[in-house]
């Protein structure tokens, strides 16, 4: 959880640094002249001279949608229209047959598992390189989260290691499109198909990310998105589920609406025997409709800037931007993720590198920790309910099964930039590269500083 705060903190830091929008600024030719200057941490000028884009972007359209909901007096989705309007727009934009707005990304994942009637004795496969919510939603159903190691090159779940973790208890495979870059969907879907296990995509960071030209989220049975304040589509809090299986969307509706069916006025029963209230408010839906008017353009800007940055960073020894799988036709770049090899920087520690980058005016952070080794997670093996459901022997074996050596390596080397940093100009990207180049030329001096 601490690491998630890091993510949100530096996305906020980037936003606070610049309230002005730099989108639409003319793109200029590559200029890395400043790379010969002294690093800022040694008293030189900062590499970054601009302003990061503030987040969220707010305009008249947000005010109009909110006022409409306010004056309607219908603030709950039941009997009202805004949430339904949002769901129509969302499913169209994301290319799915059905969509359901819910109260958060966590609620989206929890609802999908609830609609599948996941419960005690079941296992759900997840990656360790993710926000803790991916784990929590499994535990909230008293199912067992089983970790599959990370692919060091892409930061995504390693599909070649999934089969070894499938048991007769496995009920769901839940890959995460981490950073907004699609996981290897072809490989994951093929393994899931072979074992007849549904895939639920945690697409909470992956708005408009594409696999082979189609938006992620509905390749498996269904997918969940988050609209929490740091996300590329932001309503402060909120979430959505998409699926091409309309019956499943109906089941999700029932679970998130106290077990009742879509026709709430008649309390038509939904499928299943459990439910809760995880409904989206009309206010959230209004904000989402407004924010969605900019989503495509913002996504294209992030993509173009990230591609440009990757080209520059690939030339710096010791900096390894996360690779994209061949099937990825677009990343949402909620995070720009790369690995840092301190040996190639004369032994300069990752902490000192990050400090030097921050001094250049470039916010960055270390990202997720080793979730599978976190006390919050390992204590599950001593939880009285889990001991009652699975037994001590199985829970001890679970601790053994959860080893993820590649993820251990990744979490020691990973660094992130936040999505708002990709909403600026090409010059901003050049200045990021320039800062790293300056640092790479002066590791000895920086170490002594
Ligand atoms: C990968 C991932 N899964 C799930 C969530 C949970 O979303 P929310 O914060 O909207 O509940 C998040 C949000 O940070 C996330 O990044």
CATH number at residue 147: 3.40.640.10
Give the CA distances from residue 202 to residues 205, 261, 321, in Å, rounded to whole numbers and listed in that order.
8, 24, 22
* Residue 97 covered by a domain: yes
Strand partners, 176: 202
Question: Which residue has a Cα nearest atom 12 of ligand 1?
Answer: 204
Same domain? For 100 and 232 the reply is yes
* Residue 179 covered by a domain: yes
Residue 97: pLDDT over 90: yes
* Residue 379 covered by a domain: no
Same domain? For 129 and 197 the reply is yes
Residue 208: pLDDT over 60: yes
Q: 361-375, pLDDT tens digit by residue?
A: 999 999 999 999 999
Question: Looking at residue 268, what is its pLDDT?
Answer: 61
For residue 181 and ligand 1, the question of a CB distance below 6 A is answered with: no
Tokens of 93: 């934009």
Domain ranges, residue 342: 2-52+294-367+410-448
Residue 225 phi, psi dihedral angles, 5° rounding: -125, 155
Average pLDDT over residues 297-326: 98
Same domain? For 251 and 318 the reply is no
For residue 440 and ligand 1, the question of a CB distance below 6 A is answered with: no
Same domain? For 19 and 107 the reply is no
Question: Looking at residue 283, what is its pLDDT?
Answer: 98
Q: Which atom of ligand 1 is nearest to the CA of 228?
A: 10
For residue 299 and ligand 1, the question of a CB distance below 6 A is answered with: no
For residue 228 and ligand 1, the question of a CB distance below 6 A is answered with: yes
Question: Looking at residue 91, what is its pLDDT?
Answer: 98
CATH number at residue 437: 3.90.1150.10
* Residue 230 covered by a domain: yes
Same domain? For 349 and 272 the reply is no
Q: For residues 427 and 94, what is the distance between their CA atoms, to the nearest angstrom? A: 31
Q: Work out whether the CA dihedral 420, 19, 313, 318 comes out positive or negative.
A: negative
Same domain? For 65 and 98 the reply is yes
Residue 306: pLDDT over 70: yes
261 pLDDT band (50/70/90 cuts)?
confident
Question: Looking at residue 206, what is its pLDDT?
Answer: 99
Residue 20: pLDDT over 70: no
Candidates 226, 227, 284: which one to mutate for ligand 1, based on the most atoms within 8 Å of Cβ?
Answer: 226
Average pLDDT over residues 171-187: 98
The DSSP output letter for 207 is T
262 pLDDT band (50/70/90 cuts)?
low
* Residue 244 covered by a domain: yes
Average pLDDT over residues 407-432: 98
Picking from 257, 289, 321, the residue at the C-terminal end of a domain is 289
Same domain? For 190 and 279 the reply is yes
What total of structural domains would you count in the chain? Answer: 2
Same domain? For 279 and 308 the reply is no
Task: For residue 34, report the distance from its CA to the centre of ligand 1, in Å.
Answer: 38
Average pLDDT over residues 383-410: 98
Picking from 262, 289, 316, the residue at the C-terminal end of a domain is 289
110 pLDDT band (50/70/90 cuts)?
very high
* Residue 404 covered by a domain: no
Same domain? For 13 and 89 the reply is no
Picking from 289, 305, 321, the residue at the C-terminal end of a domain is 289
Which residues touch 83 (CB under 8 Å, ≥6 apart)? Answer: 77, 101, 279, 280, 281, 282, 285
Going by C-alpha positions, the residue among 115, 121, 161 that lies closest to residue 144 is 121
Same domain? For 214 and 148 the reply is yes
């Amino acid at each position: 959880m601490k690491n998630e705060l890091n993510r949100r903190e530096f996305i906020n830091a980037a936003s606070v640094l610049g309230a002005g929008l730099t989108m639409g600024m003319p793109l200029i030719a590559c200029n890395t002249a400043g790379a010969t200057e002294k690093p800022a941490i040694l008293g030189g000028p900062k590499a970054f001279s601009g302003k990061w884009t503030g987040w969220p972007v707010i305009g008249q359209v947000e005010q109009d949608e909110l006022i409409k909901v306010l004056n309607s007096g219908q603030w709950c989705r039941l009997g009202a229209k805004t949430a339904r309007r949002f769901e129509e727009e969302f499913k169209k934009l994301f290319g799915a047959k059905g969509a359901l707005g819910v109260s958060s990304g966590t609620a989206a994942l929890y609802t999908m598992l609830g609609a599948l009637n996941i419960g005690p004795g079941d296992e759900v496969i997840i990656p360790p390189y993710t926000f803790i919510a991916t784990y929590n939603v499994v535990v909230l159903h008293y199912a067992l989260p089983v970790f599959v190691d990370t692919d060091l090159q892409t930061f995504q779940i390693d599909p070649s290691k999934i089969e070894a973790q499938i048991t007769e208890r496995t009920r769901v495979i839940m890959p995460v499109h981490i950073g907004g870059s699609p996981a290897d969907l072809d490989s994951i879907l093929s393994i899931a198909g072979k074992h007849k296990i549904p895939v639920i995509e945690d697409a909470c960071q992956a708005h408009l990310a594409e696999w082979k030209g189609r938006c992620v989220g509905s390749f498996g049975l269904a997918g969940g998105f988050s609209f929490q304040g740091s996300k590329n589509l932001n309503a402060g809090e909120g979430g959505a589920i998409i699926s091409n299986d309309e019956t499943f969307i109906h089941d999700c509706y029932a679970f998130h609406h106290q077990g009742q069916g879509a026709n709430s006025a008649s309390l038509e029963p939904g499928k299943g025997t459990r439910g809760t209230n995880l409904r989206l408010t009309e206010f959230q839906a209004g904000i989402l409709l407004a924010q969605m008017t900019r989503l495509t353009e913002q996504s294209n800007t992030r993509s173009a800037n990230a591609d440009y940055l990757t080209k520059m960073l690939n030339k710096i020894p010791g900096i390894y931007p996360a690779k994209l799988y061949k099937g990825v036709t677009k990343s949402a770049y909620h995070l720009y993720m790369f690995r840092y090899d301190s040996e190639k920087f004369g032994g300069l520690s990752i902490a000192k590198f990050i400090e030097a980058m921050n001094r250049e005016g470039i916010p960055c952070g270390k990202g997720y920790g080793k979730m599978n080794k976190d006390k919050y997670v390992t204590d599950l093996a001593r939880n009285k309910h889990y001991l009652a459901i699975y037994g001590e022997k199985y829970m001890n074996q679970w601790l053994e099964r959860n080893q993820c050596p590649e993820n251990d390596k990744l979490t020691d080397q990973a660094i992130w930039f936040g999505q708002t940093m990709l909403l600026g100009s090409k010059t901003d990207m050049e200045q990021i590269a320039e800062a790293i180049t300056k640092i790479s030329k002066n590791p000895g001096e920086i170490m002594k500083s």
